[in-house]
Structure 1
Amino acid sequence: MALLAAVHEGATLTEAAGSLDALSPADRARAQRLAATALRFRGRADAVLAPLLHRAPRPETADLLRLAVTEMLALGEAPHGVVNAAVAAARAGGPKAAAAAGMVNAVLRRAAEAQAAWDAAPPARLPDWLRSPLAARWGEAVAAAIEAAHETTPPIDLTGKPGATLPGEALPTGSHRLPPGARVSTLPGYDSGYWWVQDAAAALPVRLLDPRAGERIADLCAAPGGKTMQIAAAGAQVTAIDLSPARLERVAENLRRTGLTADLVAADATAWRPETPLDAVLLDAPCSATGTIRRHPELPLIRDGAMIPDLVRVQAALIDHALSLLKPGGRLVYAVCSLHPAEGEAQLAAARTRHPGLVVEPPDLPGLDPAWVVDGAIRTRPDHWADRGGLDGFFIVRLRIPG
C-alpha cells in the first residue's frame, strides 16, 4: 500500500522502496513484487472492480482492492485469506478506511468469482501522449501488442566477459536469459565477476559499437555501468562520464566485482572533452525510459509526456557534442531506451539534417532479427521475442564521421 501511495505522489517504485525498511528482506521483496504486479495488471483489476462498485472509493481503498484482486486472480492466492487480510488492512487504516471495510469484504467476495472477467479484460492502456505516436508509427495492432507485453514479468538477462560460461538460456544476440525472480547473486560466476545483469536489448548498443582492444572510447551518461563493462571487457580504454558522483560509484562497484577497469569522470557530458580525439563514443542518452515499462510499470502513471521536448533538445545537444569528440573516421553509437519516435527515429533524422555528411552504418550483428532494422537503425520493442519473454524498447544507430 505504501508503495502504491508513493506512486500516486509521483515516485518510482525504486524511490519508494525506503518505506519498506522496517520489513524483513523476504517481506520487502514480496511487497515489491506484489506492487509491481498490481501495477502491471491495473487494467484488468479495474475492469473486474468497475461493475462491483457503486461509486469510486477513496484512493487508498482503491489500491487495496486492486492489490487483493491481483493476488486472487493473477497470482492464484486463496480468496478467503486475501479477503480477510484486505478487510483487516482496511480496519487498520484509520476511521475513514475502516468505514469501508464492509464494502471491501463484499466487493472482494464477488471479485473472487470473476476470473472469466479478468481473463477477458484488456491490458492497461498506455497514456495517449505515448500511445498515439506509437499507433501512428506502427499501427493499432502493434500498440496493443506492446500493451500486452507490458503485463509480462520480464526475465533476467546476463551479459558476460568474452569466453565466460553463463547460466541460463543462450539468446541469438549473445545474451543469456534466466526466468523472472532468479537469485543472480547465488549463481556460478557472479562472485567471480564473469557476467552482469543487462537486458538483451541494452547489450546491443555496445555490440553495434564493436569496441576493439586499444581503442580510446568514451561512454557518455555511463551509469550504472553495464555498457562501460562491455567496452572494457573488449580491451578498449574506456572513459565513463556521468553527471552524478553517486551514480558513478555504482559503476565503480560493478567494475570492482568484475575486475574490469575504466576511467571514471563526474562531469556534464555536454561539456566534457578528452585531450585528444577519440576512436568511438557510446551515447546512451537521457530519455523517457518508456522502453522499460515492462520493468517499471509505474512509469505510465507518473509521466505525462511534458518532458519529451526538453529531452529531445538535450539528446540533440549530446549528439552534436559527441560527434565533436571523434577523430576523422570515428564512430558514434546513439541509443535511447525509449519507444517514443521523437527520441529515436525523428532524432536521427534531425541529426542527419544538422550534419549532412554523417554516415549511418546499418547493423550486421549475429542473431539480430532483420525485422528490427529500419532505415539503418535498430528498433526493439517489448512485443519482440514475445515467446521468449520480450525485450526492452530501444532505438540504436551507429553513425560515422567521414574521414
Structure 2
Amino acid sequence: MAKTARAAAVHLLNEVLGEGALLGQVDAPLAALSPADRARAQRLAALVLRHVEQADRVLKPFLRKTPPLLVVNVLRLAVVELVQGEAAHGVVNEAVTLVRNDRHAGAFSGLVNAVLRKVAALEAPFAKLPPQRLPYWLRKPLVDAWGREAVTAMEAVQAQVPPVDLSVKPGWQGDLAGEPLPTGSLRLASAGQLSALPGYAEGAWWVQDAAAALAVPLLAPQPGEAVVDLCAAPGGKTLQLAAAGAEVTALDISEARLGRLRENLARTGLSAQVVVADALTWQPERQFDAILLDAPCSATGTIRRHPDLPFIKDGSELAELVPLQAALLDRALGWLKPGGRLVYCTCSLLPDEGEAQLAAALARHPGLRVEPAAVPGMDPAWLTEAGALRLRPDYWAGRGGMDGFFMVRLAR
C-alpha cells in the first residue's frame, strides 16, 4: 500500500498507463493516505498525464534502454515536479527511494539518481516543447473538422490544470470570490477544498463546467413544466432544471451514478423524481413539455478535466455509441408534447456524435426543425451553420478554456 502521495501517484500512473484503468476508479493506493495526501496524489498523477510526451522527450537522451514501467513513471513524475519548481533534493531523493524499495525495480535506483540529477541541471526543459498531442485516432478527425491550428490550440488548453466552474442557485447572495463568466457560471482559479467554501453547506451551488451548464438555458425550462433529463447522472443539469422551477424526472441506467445526484439534491434542497431505468425500454406515463438528452458519448470534450482518457480510449467505442445516440434521440422525440422541445447534447469533439447526428435526425424525421441557439453570453462564433452550438476547449483559452460540447435545440 502506498505510504506517500508520490508513491500513490506512481501507482495511479501504473494503473492508467499499464492497465488501462480510469484514473478516478483506482482507489487502492489512496486508502491509507490522509485526505490532503490523497488529493495531492491524484493531482500529481493528473499533472503527469498532461505531460507524458514532454517528460519522455526530456528523458530520452539519458536512457539507452527503456526501464520497467514503474521506473519510467517514477522518472516522469520527478521530471514534471522539477519543471514545476519543486526542490530537486527532495524530488530526486524520494524518486530513488521509491525505486529502491520495489523488489522488482530496486536495481534501477542508481540509474534514477543519475538521470534525475542531469535533468535537474537543465534550464526550463519543457520551454521549447509543444503541448502533448492527442492520439492519432482522435487528432486526425479533429484536424479534418476544425483545422490544425484549432487542434493545436485545444491541446495547449488541455495541458493546463483547468479552473473549477460553479453553477449558482438563483437568488443566492453569498460571498464567493471568482470570475463571473458571460454565460452565468462562476469560475474559480483555485478552489481548494470545495466543502469549505461559502455556500457549500447550504447547497447554494454545485460544480459544473461552464460549457455543460449551457444545455439547460438552451432548453429554457419554465416553472411548472414537465421535463425529463435523460442520462441524468451525475446530475448537474437536473439541478439546473429543478432550480428553474421545472417538474423534473431524472432518469439514468446506473443506480450507482444516481447516488451522487441524490446527494446533491439533498444538499441543495432541490427536488426531482429519480428513476433508474434504460431509456431505450422505459415507458413514461405522460408526455413532456421539454426533454434534455445528454447522450452517452466518447467524452472527448472532457480531456482537459480527464487527462487519462487519451491513454485508455482508442475510438473503437464509437461503433456502438453512434447508433445508441440515434436510438435514444428517436425514442425521446416520441415523448414530446405537441409544440414541445428537446435539447440533444454530447460532451464530444467528434462531428460523428454531434453535427452528423443532427443531419441524420433531420433526415429521419420530416417536420423536425432546429430552433436557433440563443443563450445568455453566447459568442456567435460558437454557432454552427445548422443553428447548433459547437463548444471547444480552445474557446475562452485566456480564461482557462471550456469543455467540448455539441448541443442543439429541436422542435417538431
Counterpart of 1:4 (choices 13, 22, 40) is 13
The answer on 1:144 being equivalent to 2:146 is no
1:378 is matched with which residue? 389
Query: Which whole-Å deviations, capped at 9, do the CAs of 1:91-114 have from their partners, x for residues lacking one?
Result: 0011x4111111111111111123
Q: CA–CA distance in 1 between the matches of 2:187 and 2:154?
A: 20
1:81 is matched with which residue? 90
Q: CA–CA distance in 1 between the matches of 2:379 and 2:186?
A: 16
The answer on 1:203 being equivalent to 2:237 is no
Aligned CA-pair RMSD = 1.1
Unaligned runs of at least 5 residues, structure 2: 1-9
Contact 1:48–1:114 (Cα < 8 Å) also in 2: no
SS at match of 1:136: helix
SS at match of 2:182: coil
Query: Which whole-Å deviations, capped at 9, do the CAs of 1:247-292 have from their partners, x for residues lacking one?
Result: 2221111101000110011000112222221101000111111111
Counterpart of 1:62 (choices 72, 89, 99) is 72
Map 1:219-368 → 2, pairs under 5 A: 219-368=229-378
The answer on 1:128 being equivalent to 2:139 is no
Deviation at 1:362, TM superposition (A): 1.2
- Aligned-residue sequence identity (percent) comes to 60
Unaligned runs of at least 5 residues, structure 1: none
Query: Which whole-Å deviations, capped at 9, do the CAs of 1:23-73 have from their partners, x for residues lacking one?
Result: 111111111110000001112111111112111121111111000000101
Contact 1:218–1:238 (Cα < 8 Å) also in 2: yes
Contact 1:336–1:394 (Cα < 8 Å) also in 2: yes
2:108 is matched with which residue? 100
TM value normalised by structure 2: 0.95
Deviation at 1:181, TM superposition (A): 4.1
Contact 1:169–1:177 (Cα < 8 Å) also in 2: yes
TM value normalised by structure 1: 0.97
The answer on 1:117 being equivalent to 2:125 is yes
Query: Which whole-Å deviations, capped at 9, do the CAs of 1:222-264 have from their partners, x for residues lacking one?
Result: 0111100100111110100011112222111110100011001
Map 1:40-55 → 2, pairs under 5 A: 40-55=50-65
1:156 is matched with which residue? 164
Deviation at 1:380, TM superposition (A): 1.0
Q: CA–CA distance in 2 between the matches of 1:180 and 1:187?
A: 11
Counterpart code for 2:398: D
Equivalenced residue count is 399
Q: CA–CA distance in 2 between the matches of 1:367 and 1:304?
A: 35
Query: Which whole-Å deviations, capped at 9, do the CAs of 1:182-226 have from their partners, x for residues lacking one?
Result: 322112111111111100001000010000001001000001111
